Amino acid sequence: MTAALIDGKAVSAQVLEEVRQRVAACVAKGVTPTLAVVLVGDDPASQIYVRNKGRRAAEVGIATRDHRLGAKETTTESLLELVAQLDADPEVDGILVQLPLPGHIDADAVLLAIDPAKDVDGFHPDNLGRLVLGKPRFVPCTPAGCMRLLQEAGVDPAGKRALVIGRSTIVGKPMAHLLLAANATVTIAHSRTTNLAEEVSRADIVVAAVGRAHLVRGEWIKPGAAVIDVGMNRLDTGKLAGDVDFEGARQRAGAITPVPGGVGPMTIAGLMANVVRSAESRVG
């Protein structure tokens, strides 16, 4: 069997087109969806992420307000002050503080200060709590994108065994809760899991979010399983690789995401969807 490829580029383009139409509807009612982006310091990867988010926002008609702050001049207090201003600004629908923040800044305090109704990254405890309660508001963008990819691949998690590998707050944990809400029987594997191969071989759905190239071997995959590879690992050759041995896994899986071109493009699309959703509540 050769797995069907789940095309994240195509699905994200579809999501962005839906967002563009919803943005236009907001604008027609006098509300321009607006995202405030806060970047502290000059981390090169963060600069690229922020630039890409700005570009996508412009493409779909979302306005952005950039706040670029020097690492040395910025303190936890000054950042909290900026977040408070953005919270109070009725024209700002979403606030994104690019992570990681420099070490001298209390990132938890900053994320906690973001108004949960503007927390388009979905990292605020209020939004994560709602997700756990099965009453989500803003869902973290990468796991939301994974769910959309499963849906587009025609995979209904209900009654299936799903394995999430990785337990981070931004991917693994919210992913497990989304699958649970979709009625899958969910297992979470992590760095202390003793027999990953066995866990993988039982799973109808595998979501790998670890950050180790080719950790999941092709021969572990249950025939016909859906494989969502969140991992983004830069190899010595300069190429990008996922957490799954793609060539091996695609011989056994029913459907699989490539890296690049799978989950990656879904994350920004999910962010834009969260911003327009917030703006729609301003429209009323």
Q: How far is the CB of 71 from ligand NAD (least distance, A)?
A: 22
> Is 121 an annotated catalytic residue?
yes
If the CB atoms of residues 82 and 275 are measured against ligand NAD, the closer one turns out to be: 275
In degrees, to the nearest 5, what angle opens at C-alpha 202 toward C-alphas 257 and 211?
45
Q: Report the 10 Å Cβ neighbour count for 195.
A: 9
Residue 66's identity, in one-letter code, is D
Q: 3-state class of 93 per DSSP?
A: coil
Burial class (CB in 10 A: 0-12, 13-18, 19+), 42: exposed
Q: Is there binding between residue 221 and ligand NAD (CB under 6 A)?
A: no
Catalytic residue among 93, 98, 119, 204: 98
- In the DSSP assignment, the letter for residue 103 is T
Which residues lie across from 224 on neighbouring strands?
none
C-alpha to C-alpha distance for 243 and 117, rounded to whole angstroms: 33
Q: Are strands 226-229 and 255-256 parallel, antiparallel or unpaired?
A: parallel
Q: Is there binding between residue 231 and ligand NAD (CB under 6 A)?
A: yes
Q: Which residues contact 275 (CB under 8 A, 6 or more apart)?
A: 33, 34, 35, 57, 62, 93, 94, 120
Q: Is there binding between residue 120 and ligand NAD (CB under 6 A)?
A: no
- Candidates 29, 68, 104, 190; binder of ligand NAD (CB under 6 A) is 190
Among 11-19, 61-69, 260-268, 271-279, the segment contacting ligand NAD (CB under 6 A):
260-268
Q: Is there binding between residue 196 and ligand NAD (CB under 6 A)?
A: yes
Q: Is there binding between residue 164 and ligand NAD (CB under 6 A)?
A: no
Q: Is there binding between residue 172 and ligand NAD (CB under 6 A)?
A: yes
Q: Is there binding between residue 165 and ligand NAD (CB under 6 A)?
A: yes
Contact assessment for residue 156 and residue 281, using Cβ atoms and an 8 Å cutoff: no
- Candidates 15, 60, 209, 256; binder of ligand NAD (CB under 6 A) is 209
- Candidates 110, 171, 182, 269; binder of ligand NAD (CB under 6 A) is 171
- Could you list the residues that contact ligand NAD (CB under 6 A)? 142, 165-168, 170-172, 189-191, 193, 196, 209-212, 215, 230-233, 263-264, 267
